[in-house]
Copies of this chain bind each other. A is one copy, B any other.
């Protein structure tokens, strides 16, 4: 038994090949009568159109690319889930391409991918979003692009994002509302634009509360666990240690927790710890993390949605974040 082709379907349905094609592509000008006959034949033969033939003959490939250079399994998993779901709804396929933003071959790889697969669109996640040469290559090929949380050329492509400034502000304000005045902050990796935004939100909330900014309380991190432990070790041995540490990723917050445990600092009694992202991690460490929920899956879904609905037309969509309070934060000891 070999695969059924459109020809088989047309023979069984008693119509022309082109009519079958019309039904399959939901084109206008097809009578209900024809449509029904074709649909029956398709079901009976268990026919599935050849992706390859469609791509070759038509101008669409029904495929979009998702490119990432992000070390977080959690982030990638959820992003893929969101993009994947929207793709399935539209009968599109998602081509995932991990990459290395420092590789000199990056641009060529992207070009090759688009050429070979004839992609209909492209989704970029940070930090690839801000690689100028990659972006230029996509423009050169006039392919619709949606970026997730871009940091540069904000109006150049469609984009989905959350308000990182506001989110970090929310968290900082929450810690202040608990009574904290000395709040440490661990920044993210310099490659990510969001890192700077979160720092801005932190400073913004401090200022509004009339708390002076103290550069000694800000520790440069890389979004990873190690950064968190290093930051905690540095911040907790200050002459005037903070009563709370806001790490701008959950991994770093977990690092802070581990260091606190090791140093015998009780969380949240002696130290409040806050994270950012609300990854799986947040509920698996002890105590569970107060954090900002970032709707990664929804961001993926929205990105694919913009691509499929609007194509070249530039659209922007901001998604809501949410402050999630768990066990790692409490009022400071008086």
Contacts and interface: CB of A to CB of B under 8 A. Distances in A.
A49 interface: yes
Nearest to A48: B115
Interface of A: 3, 46, 48-56, 61, 73-74, 76-78, 80-81, 84, 93-96, 98, 108, 111-112, 115-118, 225, 251, 254-255, 257-258, 261-262, 280-281, 283-288
B50 A56 contact: yes
A46 B111 contact: yes
14 contacts: A3-B115, A48-B115, A48-B116, A49-B116, A51-B52, A53-B56, A76-B77, A80-B96, A84-B96, A84-B98, A93-B95, A258-B284, A258-B285, A281-B284
A191 to B, nearest CB: 19
A288 to B, nearest CB: 8
Contacts of A116: 48-51
A212 B212 CA distance: 64
Contact of A285 (B51, B54, B286): B286
B96 A96 contact: yes
A257 B255 CA distance: 16
A206 to B, nearest CB: 29
A251 B74 CA distance: 14
Contacts of A74: 73-74
Contacts of A108: 46
A276 to B, nearest CB: 15
Interface majority SS (helix, strand, loop, mixed), chain A = helix
Contacts of A225: 283-284
B61 A52 contact: yes
B50 A118 contact: yes
Contacts of A261: 286-287
A251 B56 contact: no
Given A93-B117, A95-B93, A77 B73 contact: yes
Contact of A55 (B3, B52, B95, B115): B52
A283 B94 CA distance: 32
Contacts of A115: 3, 48, 50
Given A50-B56, A56-B53, A94-B96, A284 B251 contact: yes
A3 B118 CA distance: 10
Contacts of A255: 284
A99 B284 CA distance: 25
A283 B93 CA distance: 35
A3 B142 CA distance: 12
Contacts of A258: 284-286, 288
Contact of A286 (B55, B251, B257): B257
Given A73-B78, A77-B76, A51 B118 contact: yes
A2 to B, nearest CB: 10
A226 to B, nearest CB: 10
Given A98-B84, A117-B93, A56 B52 contact: yes
